[in-house]
Structure 1
Amino acid sequence: MMSSTTLKPTFTGPRVPVAKAGRVAPSRAAILRVRAGPYDEELIATAQKIASPGHGILAMDESNATCGKRLDSIGMENTEASRQAYRELLCTTPGLGEYISGAILFEETLYQNTTTGSTMVDELNKQGIVPGIKVDKGLVPLPNSNNESWCQGLDGLAQRTAEYYKQGARFAKWRSVISIPSGPSNLALQDCAYGLARYAAISQASGLVPIVEPEVLLDGDHDIDRTLEIAQEIWAQTFKYMADNKVMFEGILLKPSMVTPGADSSKREKPEVVADYTLKLLRRRVPPAVPGIMFLSGGQSELEATLNLNAMNQKPNPWHVSFSYARALQNSVLKTWKGQPENKQVAQEALLKRAKANSQAQRGQYDPSTESKEAGERTFEKGYVY
């Protein structure tokens, strides 16, 4: 005979919570929803335009102080008029848009007019060159590190990027650095990666495609294997923090260093070796969703930077592997111009020659037989700052 006592359930498995009346439990799709920003389509279109076949970036974003060093090398005084004359020479070079798809500007240049009254931004847009803007505030000592640096500029960045967008900029650039002779320390690696991720997220929210640039400096006598080791580490952390910050990878561009030995290394590597190591880094760390890898020259000679880029593009890869050069595009230009108005046209021809050479290298079709001896001159500066 059964007892009238109510039997208690003996189920001991996991209990599934029941949604309260009037409330619907969030679906798994809702929980996993990916960010969708107001500029997403524009960001993707801008990144793809810059990373178009045969094109690269002209980095002309040197600070006024660094631009002054360039001018001093040809005997010119560092005045606003001198900087205007040089930057106008670059922006108004006829035919430049055939090889250059983006130009990184310093803040002064973004708001600057040419001597004829048009803006630098207008001159670039006329040729289909996307104007960009340097947004970091430079390197300062990182406390409690191995004499390393961190990049400042996150304070007020959202307001500044919004204003830059109104002025016509459509992409941004932030340079942070890693020093191999300094270790590098974990503190420096993490600060570099997280700062870049925050900058990238803020830039995308303002409509600017962020160029992500954790530069592994050439300073040092280390070999190419050590460079690869450190480059892998900083890129792993950078992409981890960008994912944490919900950065849309289809709307960014990368500006890495090529994987080379240190500037003081006794062993130099051939372009084919540099290409193998650099592509190995990309395959191990960079998602195929990223549209463009725009390499910095990092103090390589004009010839060396072009040869290495050409070698990379003779091997299969899923990205637009291209260039974002400053010194490796401008060294010949400055020496040809010499600050003389009568040399403007021939200096612009020198810029076109270098831009065309790197355009050919982007397609893996570069022929170095026509290069001058001067193209092989190294542009490396120890502890280089912009």
Structure 2
Amino acid sequence: MTTSALPAPLSSLGAPSMPHLVSTANALVAGDKGLLAIDESIPTCNRRFARLGIAQTEQNRRAYRELIVTTPRLADSISGVILCDETIRQHTTDGDPFATVLMNAGIAPGIKVDRGTQPMAGHSGERVTEGLDGLRERLTQYVALGARFAKWRAVFTIGETLPSRGCVQANAHALARYAALCQEAGLVPVVEPEILMTGEHTVTRCGAVTEDVLREVFSQLHTQGVALEGTLLKANMVLPGSACPIQPTVETVAEATISCLRRVVPAAVAGIVFLSGGQSGDLATTRLNAINAADRQPLPWPVGFSFGRAIQQPALTIWGGQDTNADGAQSAIRHRAQNNQDARRGEYARTTVLAPT
């Protein structure tokens, strides 16, 4: 796969245009690279710090994110980094905005724009993602801060009667409205409808639910006038529930995932990037490698990764809140990112198999 240079920022182009969106979307999935998500909410980041005995302060969050965005040669395997509202406003110790540091390295800054999930009224056990109110104005601010793409996550739980039609339609509609607003602002929307691993469901049941959800999402995207050529899908792999007694092989997961996506994802979509969704880092990479295996029939879209904890966790453990450990932590970030780039090529050397966590 050939590489694609990141197009110029909007500030130097004037009004948003579809060619600009398409060029940015293509650049995000070019060169066998992927996305790195460091967009955890403040409470989520603090919980991860607490487990490692790291003080839960804004300064420590800033220092940890600086460690990531300044990792040498990160751009060799990472095309975009997803930030949260706190992080996109932060600076390095030298005073440089994180978004500027990333752009100077050839990495596109992205921004998580949803405001999390809330219990869905009238639908016990289901959640709906909020954040559409005031989104147009917030997107304008994020563009000014340097963002080039955005992300919105919806979640779906598999149960005996879940997800309900109401939950699927409500979240798909919100994803489509978000995507339309992003393209209006000149940002590439990353559309993330995640089927959660929680539960005892089989890989077959996950495949059926994933297919149903994606059909509704793409129907809503069409209704809202979203250009698929300037859109990325952040998809879950087709996986059994973490409590399912039957855990299939890596190859079975790859086949189920490919079969599902071929049936429902239009070829016009600029690319698919997988979320890790609670898998261990090695297992997520191994499954990505199987999906991209050289002996498979070519897929209609580039298939990459958008991993967070699956790339970050070893580095966070090494860093432990100590600046003296920064070099080792950055080496771990670079190593995990390179592993996933290898997996995009179908060249990841699998050494161990870890159970889902």
Q: Same fold by TM (over 0.5)?
A: yes
Q: Give distance in 2, aligned partners of 1:296 and 1:79.
A: 27
Partner amino acid for 1:40? Answer: M
- Give the TM-score normalised by the residue count of structure 1: 0.86
Q: Are 2:19 and 1:41 equivalent residues in the alignment?
A: yes
Partner amino acid for 2:146? Answer: G
Partner amino acid for 1:287? Answer: P
Aligned to 2:262: 283
Q: CA deviation at 1:377?
A: 6.6
Aligned to 1:169: 147
Secondary structure in 1 aligned to 2:48?
helix
Q: Give distance in 1, aligned partners of 2:96 and 2:86.
A: 15
Q: Are 2:32 and 1:54 equivalent residues in the alignment?
A: yes
Secondary structure in 1 aligned to 2:106?
coil
Aligned to 1:218: 197
Q: Are 2:78 and 1:100 equivalent residues in the alignment?
A: yes
Secondary structure in 2 aligned to 1:213?
strand
* Percent of aligned pairs with the same amino acid: 44
Aligned to 1:318: 300
Secondary structure in 2 aligned to 1:347?
helix
Q: Equivalences for 1:208-287 in 2 at 5 Å?
A: 208-287=187-266
Partner amino acid for 1:242? Answer: L
Q: CA deviation at 1:98?
A: 0.2
1:146–1:183 contact (8 Å) kept in structure 2:
no
Q: CA deviation at 1:53?
A: 2.4
Secondary structure in 2 aligned to 1:311?
helix
Q: Are 2:173 and 1:194 equivalent residues in the alignment?
A: yes
Q: CA deviation at 1:45?
A: 0.7
Partner amino acid for 1:143? Answer: A
Aligned to 2:334: 352
Q: Give distance in 2, aligned partners of 1:90 and 1:74.
A: 18
Secondary structure in 2 aligned to 1:255?
strand
Q: CA deviation at 1:298?
A: 0.2
Q: Give distance in 1, aligned partners of 2:342 and 2:211.
A: 28
2:232–2:270 contact (8 Å) kept in structure 1:
yes
Q: Are 2:309 and 1:327 equivalent residues in the alignment?
A: yes
Quick one: which of 77, 89, 107 aligns to 1:111?
89
1:53–1:362 contact (8 Å) kept in structure 2:
no
2:283–2:355 contact (8 Å) kept in structure 1:
no
Partner amino acid for 2:170? Answer: D
Gapped runs of 5+ residues in structure 2? 1-14
Secondary structure in 2 aligned to 1:214?
strand
Aligned to 1:130: 108
Query: What is the total number of aligned residue pairs between the two structures?
Result: 339
2:29–2:271 contact (8 Å) kept in structure 1:
yes
Q: Equivalences for 1:52-91 in 2 at 5 Å?
A: 52-91=30-69
Q: CA deviation at 1:115?
A: 1.1
Q: Give distance in 2, aligned partners of 1:185 and 1:244.
A: 21
Q: CA deviation at 1:183?
A: 1.1
1:332–1:350 contact (8 Å) kept in structure 2:
yes
2:80–2:109 contact (8 Å) kept in structure 1:
yes
Aligned to 1:336: 318
Deviations 1:196-223 (CA, angstroms, capped at 9, x unpaired): 0000001110011000001000000010
Q: CA deviation at 1:122?
A: 1.4
1:219–1:263 contact (8 Å) kept in structure 2:
yes
Partner amino acid for 1:113? Answer: H
Q: Are 2:140 and 1:155 equivalent residues in the alignment?
A: no
Secondary structure in 1 aligned to 2:194?
strand
Which ranges of 4 or more aligned residues in structure 1 deviate by more than 2 Å? 375-378
Partner amino acid for 2:308? Answer: A
Secondary structure in 2 aligned to 1:199?
helix
